[in-house]
Structure 1
Amino acid sequence: MPIASVTPPLSRSALRSVFEERGGDELVGVEVETAALDPLTGAAVPYAGENGVRAYLDFLSSLPGAEPELDHGALVGVRLPGGGTVSVEHGGAVEFSSRPATRVADLAEHTAGALRELAAAARRFGFALVPGALYPCTPFEEVNWVPHARTPLMRRHFASLGEAGCWGSHLMSMTLSTQASFDFLSPADLAAKLTMQAAASTPAAALFVNAPVYAGRPSSFLSHRMHYRSRTDPARTRVIPVTLREDFDIERFIDWALTLPMIHRATPDGGCRPVEPVPFGTLIRSGFEDGTLPDLGDWRAHLSQIFSDVRLRATLEVRAVDGPPWYALMAVPAFWSGLTYHEPSRTAARDMLRHVSRERHLAALDDIARRGMAAEFDGRPVRETAAELLRLSTEGLRARIAAGLERPEALACLDPLHEVVTSGVTFAERVLAAWHEAPERFPERFVAEYRIP
């Protein structure tokens, strides 16, 4: 029997307050997802077992000052004593989330040190941590699912969408990414940063394609990750229309988010339950099936269930690009920092791309997934647009260095992208070259070359 709710309906100001939980600094953070791989076979390491990912997390949680994080009783993460968090994704990927930094160069130092320590711990259990964008040697049928409470609910949601959600479980379990997060200082600043990031995400993706091998063999895609995103709930993934609007503001974003159904909701015992597939705005008025009304925690959870190229919560989280190899990880926060935190570069990038429709973005994303830098974007080679964005980002970083807001070392983070633009050879094509050179030795050579040392 439904119970009467004692929670007052969420007001418009309450919904808006989530986007006002910020400080006065422009910080940058990074999340790096790594595959836990057997060094000889390249196969995914299971969650269970004495040398599995859970045992690895147990070891990390035993370090002085570390704190375990549980999901309905299952160990799924650890707060590290040196700052940052390790968590495990649905298919067993190990993710490191940094503490925010004021400068990209500082972030790079902290992240490199933390990842090297995590990789050293993984070696104790006989596996390697390998950044990138896709598990290269494990087919979907052999995914070792982690016991997250929300995993079966997410898979059921994608399955309910039919063809529109057919790659959802693959995206959850097989793919990796490196994501960067940025601050906004006012409603106008939010609009300027988000609309630029959304418009630039598609051509930027061509710089980073890095998922060409599936189940141990080359595929017809340079980015399987981007391909999987094409049929994973299109209403809430890739480029969403509201973020391309010239008149974008937070009220329009809230209106759009209220039209989406919530997928799952936390339960008091630490688990999750499915939510009736109705718009979140309807839930605010009518309540959940048990009679309770959504609260701010539900609203925050709902925003986290949006998987767009730029995810808006208390920060701007850029999610469009594939995870690059170890030596190029910091290219992600460096590239977006130069564009986001330097107003002239940000404005120039937005002006260059403001006319491109969502339909052209989606067509280009499908083309980039197959051809990378050889694809077209809005009727011209994407390589040209990506090169101009990289130039603007470089100018932005240089200006921040001149103003004392960044260290000169940050520019070196962009070197791998300059190499991609100059040569036209993507990270994915380098992986393919290694496969064709010695297919029978590819798993072992791939792990040896791309693992975190």
Structure 2
Amino acid sequence: MTASSSGKNAVPLRDKAQMIDYLAAGEKPKQDWRIGTEHEKIGFCKAKLLPLPYDGPCSIKAMLEGLQRFDWQPVEENGKLIALKREGASVSLEPGGQFELSGAPLEHVHQTCAEVTRHLREVKEVADEIDAGFLSLGFRPDTKLADVPIMPKGRYQIMRDYMQKVDTHGREMMFRTCTVQTNLDFSSESDMVKKFRVSLALQPLATALFANSPFKEGDINGYKSYRSRVWLNTDNDRTGMLPFVFDEGFGYEQYVDYALDVPMYFVYRNGEYLNAAGKSFRDFLDGNLNVVPGEIATLSDFEDHLSTIFPEVRLKQFLEMRGADTGPWDELCALPAFWVGLLYDSSSLDAAWDYVKDWTADERQKLRVDVPKYGFQTEFRSKTVQDMAKDILEISRAGLNARGKMNSHGENETVFLQELDRMAMIGESNADRLIRLYKGAWDGDITRTYKECIF
């Protein structure tokens, strides 16, 4: 989740055109397109395999303090250390203490992977000193919801209270899930629309490829990606597959209309989050929000509001791919490679659109519902998702080959697809492998995840 942006732009919003122009301002020429990768991980204290609390010798705060030796600069909220910033990147906290790296905008996936490697090396150094570790799973394997510590960030308390009013799994999402996502650019409104449609349609495929959350409260939970299943019942007003994106005439204005109808969470003023949960942003535009009587929403308020919308693909001044579970190191590099290959080469983008353009809204939704449970074995038309994965990986590979971004060993970005190719070939995701181990070599011992799945 993105931190509040309030204070950066206090321009009052007088008409919808300002919000449309804000989204359009994200347009960049192809040579300026960048890759931003974010990933979360589950912290625990090794002594008793319990979640990291905020405070104490083995804690989130100790991690944030220890990482400052690597030139990370502290960020506080109400006197509490809640994040770090360095060179366009940040380390931040999710509601249940999930530790997130939000990477800097980078030119190619080799740089992304180097950034991830550096971060994990730094995290391991500090974690080893305080006897902590971090899991590469999409869902906490054995911790009950009531036992997850709550981080001291104002917006999370508002979200936590509101979540239980609107659906059944919102708190599960906040406190027990972990994701990896990639943020990508567009050159024009039409380019944004095409990328949005392709990535929305194929988001369930990413869920299958990166499925890595088969455990809950010490046992198999019946899903390959329980994290993705949780999102099905989090808050239907702000999640999902957004069928209107495929409507003729879709563009920035239609997304703004959608965003304005999503209920609010908060207003950020003078360093505090004011509870506006469930209220209308349209009322805010008219100066009729009782939380801040008479005030008219600003562009910063709109930025904050966009950060509280959680569809499978999210539009800001870039597009966010949100369908994948956190996984091990190589998959943190594989996700951006997968999407860059599909979306950053025009021929591959055309091929991907040809692949999905006749899918109906019902078919896309059914795929979204079925994949968390069945993964590669999900049936779709006359194929399985495993078959689809092979097809789409071939398109992605062609796009990466066309980019020709090389590392020092003369390898292009296709090197990061190798693990995905292997999984698609044998039809076994990380979740499938972990289930097999749990039923076999682990003999039902869930604590083995703390050795097998540690960064």
TM over 0.5: yes
Within the alignment, does 1:159 sit opposite 2:164 as a pair? Answer: yes
Structure 2 CA distance for aligned equivalents of residues 8 and 450 of structure 1 = 48
In the alignment, which residue of structure 2 is the partner of 1:76? 82
- TM-superposed CA distance for 1:70, in Å, is 1.7
Amino acid at match of 2:17: S
Q: C-alpha distance in 2, partners of 1:276/1:31?
A: 26
Give, as a single letter, the amino acid of the residue that structure 1 aligns with 2:81.
L
| Selected match of 2:295 from 292, 295, 306 | 292
Task: Report the residue type matching 2:22 in the other structure.
Answer: V
Matches within 5 A, 1:2-17: 8-17=12-21
Alignment partner of 1:133 out of 124, 132, 138 = 138
Structure 1 residue 264 and structure 2 residue 266: aligned?
yes
Please, which moves more after superposition, 64-73 or 118-127? Answer: 64-73
Map 1:416-427; keep pairs closer than 5 Å: 416-427=419-430
**Aligned equivalents of 1:276 and 1:86: distance in 2?**
26
Gaps of 5+ in 1: 1-5
Q: CA RMSD in A?
A: 2.3
Kindly state the Cα deviation for residue 391 of structure 1 after the two structures are TM-superposed.
1.1
- CA distances 1:399-452 after superposition (whole Å, capped 9, x unpaired): 111899x97342121111111110001110111122223446845532223222
Give the structure 1 partner of residue 275 of structure 2: 274
Matched residue type, 1:354: K
Query: Equivalents in 2 of 1:413, 1:47: separation in Å?
Result: 35
Q: Aligned equivalents of 2:432 and 2:165: distance in 1?
A: 35
Letter in 2 for 1:32: H
CA gap of 1:8–1:75, structure 2 versus 1, over 3 A, is closer
Letter in 2 for 1:136: P
Task: Please report how far the alpha carbon of residue 186 of structure 1 lies from its aligned counterpart in structure 2 after TM superposition.
Answer: 1.6
User: Which of 200, 203, 206 is matched with 2:202 structurally?
Assistant: 200
Give 1:178's aligned residue: 180
Contact 1:42–1:136, Cα closer than 8 Å, also in 2: no
Q: Secondary structure at the match of 2:81?
A: strand
Preserved contact between residue 196 and residue 347 of structure 1 (Cα < 8 Å) = no
Aligned length: 440
Indicate whether 1:254 and 2:260 are aligned: no
Larger mean CA deviation between 231-240 and 415-424 belongs to: 231-240
Are residues 1:349 and 2:356 paired? no
Q: What SS class does the counterpart of residue 416 from structure 2 fall into?
A: helix
Equivalent positions of 1:188-337 (< 5 A) are: 188-268=190-270, 270-275=271-276, 277-289=278-290, 290-337=293-340
Once residues 349 and 180 of structure 2 are traced to their aligned partners in structure 1, the CA distance between those partners, rounded to angstroms, is 21
Tell me which residue corresponds to 2:111. 106
Contact 2:64/2:81 (CA < 8 Å) preserved in 1? yes
Say which of 94, 97, 117 aligns to 2:122.
117
Note the C-alpha offset of 1:99.
1.0
**Contact between 1:179 and 1:332, CA under 8 Å: does it hold in 2?**
yes
1:143 equivalent to 2:135? Answer no
Partners of 1:95 and 1:67 in 2: how far apart?
15
Provide the rounded CA distance (Å) in 1 between the counterparts of 2:299 and 2:288: 13
How far apart in 2 are the matches of 1:282 and 1:31?
33
2:72 is the alignment partner of 1:36: no
Greater mean deviation of Cα atoms: 248-257 or 292-301? 248-257
Alignment partner, residue 3 of structure 1: none
Read off the aligned partner of 1:43 and give its amino acid letter: L
CA distance in 2, matches of 1:230, 1:42: 29
**Alpha-carbon distance between aligned partners in 2 of 1:326 and 1:70, rounded to the nearest angstrom:** 29
CA distance in 2, matches of 1:10, 1:380: 50
**CA contact under 8 A between 1:41 and 1:444: conserved in structure 2?**
no
Unaligned residue ranges in structure 2 (runs of 5+): 1-9
Q: By how many angstroms is 1:181 displaced?
A: 0.6
Q: 2:171 aligns with which of 169, 172, 175?
A: 169
Contact 2:180 2:322 in 1 (8 A): yes
Assess, with a 3 A threshold, how the Cα gap between structure 1 residues 218 and 188 changes in structure 2: closer, same or farther: same
In structure 2, do the counterparts of structure 1 residues 441 and 60 end up closer, same or farther at CA, with 3 Å as the change threshold?
farther
* Percent of aligned pairs sharing the same letter: 27
Q: Which amino acid aligns with 2:341?
A: G
- The alpha-carbon distance between structure 1 residues 127 and 343, as it changes in their structure 2 partners (threshold 3 A), is same
Q: Match of 1:245, as an amino acid?
A: D
> Which letter does structure 2 place at the counterpart of 1:279?
S
Contact between 2:38 and 2:101, CA under 8 Å: does it hold in 1? yes
Aligned to 1:369: 372
Judged with a 3 Å threshold, the aligned counterparts in structure 2 of structure 1 residues 256 and 321 are, in CA distance, closer, same or farther, namely: same
Which residue of structure 1 aligns with residue 440 of structure 2?
Answer: 437
Comparing 205-214 with 184-193, greater Cα deviation is found at 184-193
Q: Which residue of 1 aligns with 2:59?
A: 52
**What is the Cα deviation at residue 156 of structure 1?**
2.0
Alignment partners' CA distance in 2, 1:8 and 1:295 = 4
Q: 1-side partners of 2:443 and 2:52: how far apart?
A: 20
Give the distance between the partners of 1:7 and 1:328, measured in 2 at CA: 40
Tell me: CA distance 1:261–1:168, structure 2 relative to 1, closer, same or farther (3 Å).
Answer: same
Correspondence for 2:5:
none
Distance 2:423 2:96 in 1: 30
Partner AA of 1:154 in structure 2: M
Q: Distance in 2 between matches of 1:200 and 1:152?
A: 33
- Aligned mates of 2:283, 2:395 — CA distance in 1: 43
The C-alpha deviation readout for 1:278-319, integer Å capped at 9, x for no partner, is 432232124321221110011001111110111111111111
Greater shift, 88-97 or 63-72, is seen at: 63-72
- C-alpha contact (below 8 Å) 1:288/1:294 kept by paired residues: no
